[in-house]
């Protein structure tokens, strides 16, 4: 069967694409190339340049390549931008998803995997966040992901699709330097950017109720994110009856503090990572760590990569894009 990857040229999409191709799956990519990871797609992988808002482009991809399943990554993902531009985020993330789902139903496609986020949880006050934890997103980005899960699930029930939503925690690292994330929106690349500029890393709040006073998060290597998608896609492929309805966390189930990440970055890069302490940011919970039990039970999946591997591969990717960082 053939899988369509919407947003398959982006950071996470390219890693999933790489592993699907290595596993012998046939794939086609629909992407507007606004956040492409860089480099060419693997040989033999068709690319349709277009938006998920363009129904004709989605229809053509499904029809011309006899697509039997969809992995939907295409979305905008900057939290701060979502607060400033809610109309844009709801249009790109929700209307785009609706357009794809309508095309999927009309084409008779029966398998759909949705790229979601731990942002759906908001500020969970628990040691480990299970999939049954209350969802209370704190920004339009998280809202669009939660509403997207609802839409995917409702369409699945109404039209007999097998569906899965995967909630990512803090994604980091790269399988190859050219596939690294070009954005500077998360902790590790933000630290790299300041170190490269000769500035101290900035830590927002060192007085949280955690062992070292800094926030604790669950960091997950993007290669592990990709292997979870391959496992989920195989589960959907094995269910032609359209009865699968899964919502799963992707995390390691281990918390790492911001200070601990800085220590690893110092070890990997050789830079002094003594931080500049800034006030807390509004809305930052002290601890957000996934429970990874359900995905292991349902898919037999477990994360394989540790924090040092994430940082080292992210650093190689950063230096690939910023050669001056090694100076």
Q: Is the pTM here over 0.85, yes or no?
A: yes
Q: Rounded to whole angstroms, how far apart are CA atoms 208 and 197?
A: 28
Give mean pLDDT, residues 24-37: 91
Q: Rounded to whole angstroms, how far apart are CA atoms 45 and 22?
A: 12
Give mean pLDDT, residues 22-51: 90
Give mean pLDDT, residues 243-258: 97
Beta-bridge mates of residue 111? 162
Number of Cβ atoms within 10 Å of the Cβ of 137:
19
**Is the predicted pLDDT of residue 40 greater than 90, yes or no?**
no
Angle 17-23-24 (CA atoms, 0-180°, nearest 5)? Answer: 95
**Is the predicted pLDDT of residue 38 greater than 80, yes or no?**
no
Catalytic residue among 89, 141, 208, 271: 141
**Is the predicted pLDDT of residue 37 greater than 80, yes or no?**
no
The per-residue pLDDT for range 76-129, each reduced to its tens digit, is 998 889 999 999 999 999 999 999 999 999 999 999 999 999 999 999 989 999
Beta-bridge mates of residue 202? 276
For residue 40, give Cα distances in angstroms to 17, 293, 322.
12, 36, 20
- Residue 149: pLDDT band (50, 70, 90) is very high
**Is the predicted pLDDT of residue 327 greater than 80, yes or no?**
no
Give mean pLDDT, residues 52-79: 96
pLDDT value of position 282: 81
Rg (CA), the chain: 19
**Is the predicted pLDDT of residue 295 greater than 90, yes or no?**
yes
The answer to whether 60 and 48 are in contact (CB under 8 A) is yes
pLDDT value of position 272: 97
Query: What domains does the chain contain, in order, with CATH numbers?
Result: 2-171+219-250 (3.40.50.720), 174-217+253-290+305-326 (3.90.25.10)
**Is the predicted pLDDT of residue 234 greater than 90, yes or no?**
yes
- Residue 241: pLDDT band (50, 70, 90) is confident
**Is the predicted pLDDT of residue 36 greater than 90, yes or no?**
no
pLDDT value of position 165: 98
pLDDT value of position 135: 97
Element spanning 159, H or E: helix 140-159
pLDDT value of position 80: 87
Classify residue 25 as exposed, middle or buried by CB count within 10 Å of its CB (0-12, 13-18, 19+).
Answer: middle
The per-residue pLDDT for range 156-188, each reduced to its tens digit, is 999 999 999 999 999 999 999 999 998 888 999
- 141 has catalytic annotation: yes
Can you count the helices (H) and strands (E) in the chain?
Answer: 11, 14
pLDDT value of position 31: 95
State the DSSP string of 296-310.
HHHH-------HHHH
Q: Which contacts (CB < 8 Å, 24+ apart) does range 149-155 have?
A: 149/114, 149/116, 149/120, 149/247, 151/94, 151/97, 151/98, 151/101, 152/97, 152/101, 152/112, 152/114, 153/245, 153/247, 155/101, 155/105, 155/112
Average pLDDT, the chain: 95
Tell me phi and psi for residue 160, to 5 degrees. 75, 35
Q: Rounded to whole angstroms, how far apart are CA atoms 223 and 19?
A: 8
């Amino acid at each position: 069967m053939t899988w369509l990857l919407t947003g398959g040229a982006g950071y996470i999409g390219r890693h999933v694409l790489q592993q699907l191709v290595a596993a012998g799956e046939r794939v086609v990519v629909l992407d507007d190339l606004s956040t492409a990871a860089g480099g060419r797609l693997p040989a033999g992988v068709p690319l349709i340049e277009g938006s998920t808002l363009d129904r004709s482009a989605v229809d053509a991809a499904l029809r011309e390549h006899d697509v039997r399943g969809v992995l939907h990554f295409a979305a905008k993902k900057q939290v701060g931008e979502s607060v400033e531009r809610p109309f844009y985020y709801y249009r790109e993330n929700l209307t785009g998803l609706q357009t794809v789902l309508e095309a999927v139903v009309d084409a008779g496609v029966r398998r759909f995997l949705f790229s979601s986020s731990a942002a759906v949880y908001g500020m969970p006050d628990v040691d480990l966040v299970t999939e049954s934890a209350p969802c209370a997103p704190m920004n339009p980005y998280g809202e669009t992901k939660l509403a997207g899960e609802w839409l995917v699930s409702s369409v699945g029930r109404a039209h007999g699709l097998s569906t899965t939503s995967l909630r990512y925690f803090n994604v980091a690292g790269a399988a190859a330097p050219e596939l690294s994330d070009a954005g500077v929106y998360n902790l590790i690349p933000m630290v790299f950017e300041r170190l490269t500029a000769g500035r101290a890393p900035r830590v927002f709040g060192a007085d949280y109720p955690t062992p070292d006073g800094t926030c604790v998060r669950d960091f997950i290597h993007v290669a592990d994110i990709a292997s979870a998608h391959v496992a989920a896609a195989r589960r959907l492929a094995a269910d032609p009856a359209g009865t699968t309805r899964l919502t799963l966390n992707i995390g390691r189930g281990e918390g790492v503090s911001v200070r601990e990440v800085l220590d690893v970055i110092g070890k990997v890069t050789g830079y002094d990572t003594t931080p500049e302490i800034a006030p807390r940011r509004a809305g930052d919970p002290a601890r957000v760590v996934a429970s990874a039990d359900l995905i292991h039970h349902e898919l037999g999946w477990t994360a394989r990569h540790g924090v040092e591997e994430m940082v080292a591969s992210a650093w190689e990717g950063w230096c690939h894009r910023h050669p001056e960082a090694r100076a």
